[in-house]
Amino acid sequence: MDLNYSADDRAFAADVRAWLEANLPKELQAKVLNHRRLAKDDLVRWHKAMAAKGWAAPNWPQEWGGTGWTPTQKHIFDEECARAGTPPILPFGVNMVAPVIMRFGNEAQKRHYLPRIYDCTDWWCQGYSEPGSGSDLASLKTRAERRGDKYIVNGQKTWTTLGQHADMIFCLVRTDPEVKKQEGISFLLIDMRTPGITVRPIVTMDEDVEVNEVFFDNVEVPLDNLVGEENKGWTYAKYLLGHERTGIAQVGRSKRELEFLKRVAAEQQVGGVSLMQDIRFASKVADLEIELMALEMTVLRVVSAQAQGKGPGPEASLLKVKGTEIQQRLTELMIEAIGPRALPFHVESFEEVPEGVEEGKDIDPLAAYYFNFRKTSIYGGSNEIQKNIMTQMILGL
């Protein structure tokens, strides 16, 4: 593909940048650029603003609110959003369950759920992983027994991101325990307000509650909430994971964070010399920048193939592995750059700067940012599993 931007592409980038400058609330931008935690209201507020503009789901078909942009324009849009420091559009609804509903759901499901996903009427979470069923997801044990016009669901999901805020959860459940494990799984859409659902928080190393355990105790789910065919959920799960892994690469955000790293390192003095003038540290940054440039070219090839009607294949695993490795390396170098400033761990600083404390001198939220990014090589399918997929499907070994 032609990687040079046309005049139209440059004009498009200028339009996106101008709109973001005029409409991105400064307080939300400051939270993102300074690595602070975003509240539910922050995320919903920005999602609704993007939906009102018509930009909440650029990858969707136009009939459901997609933009009709070219792959290059979508890439430019992602870059401009990352550069500006916009809050993320959470992927669970827009980029994960919505493509499954579009591809495998019935018309009633499309008409009901897709508009509510688009404008963030419903906040979605993912019910995949279970204790003992993470990388080996097909070994899941949560059961859904069909009784009349409903399923009765019992079991447990874990690592459910932001499940404490969710209105809906899309779940993989076992509907036939007698067949090969991949062949007895179904894909259900479950209202989180249904009696019998309990959400229990998991406090992570950065002292945040981002992930949860979700328990199902005789939860009644209408048959109408089954997506596609019973016992075909593994096919839909793999389709969804392809979309998730492609999005995990986060090239635009990593480019922004690379510039942040360079600024932080330039401000640090080692023996009277800027850290960025230290050849050992500068070589680490240069190596990382080269890796990021290579990843960006790979992403462009994948999105170009998608524009030709080809779904994300094993290349998505490559994007997931390299993208998360780069993200983790960035946070490692940030901690190395700020040195002793990483030691104080002021939880209140993740929300706002405490009174009487100087930001960037007395406190720094980068330690929590580093801790949070330890998980990226695990979610969406661990990197070790992704390497096995690439070995089998790309190398043919």
Q: What is the largest CA-CA distance in the chain?
A: 76
Among 389, 322, 335, residue whose Cα is nearest residue 364: 335
Any alpha helices (H) in 350-394, and if so which ranges?
Answer: 366-372, 383-393
Hey, CA dihedral for 266, 271, 273, 275, is it positive or negative? negative
Task: Tell me, yes or no, if 244 is annotated catalytic.
Answer: yes
CB contact at 8 A, 174 and 141: yes
> In the block, which residue shows the tokens 């955000």?
253
Among 321, 251, 336, 262, residue whose Cα is nearest residue 292: 251
CA distances 262 to 268, 338, 367, Å, are: 10, 11, 17
CB contact at 8 A, 295 and 75: no
CB contact at 8 A, 153 and 221: yes
Catalytic residue selected from 79, 210, 244, 315: 244
Among 223, 216, 206, residue whose Cα is nearest residue 158: 216
User: If you write DSSP's letter for every residue of 142-195 in order, what string do you get?
Assistant: -EEEEETTEEEEEEEE-S-TTGGG-SEEEEEEES-TTS-GGGGEEEEEEETTST
Q: How many CB atoms lie within 10 A of CB 382?
A: 16
Judging by DSSP bridges, how do beta strands 168-174 and 124-127 pair with one another? parallel
Q: Which residues of 330-369 are buried (b: 16+ CB within 10 A; e: fewer)?
A: bbebbbbbbeebbeeeeeebbeebeeeeeeeeebbbbbbb
Length of the chain: 397
> In the block, which residue shows the tokens 């969406």?
380
User: If you write DSSP's letter for every residue of 218-232 in order, what string do you get?
Assistant: EEEEEGGGB-SSTT-
Q: Tell me which residues are annotated as active site.
A: 244
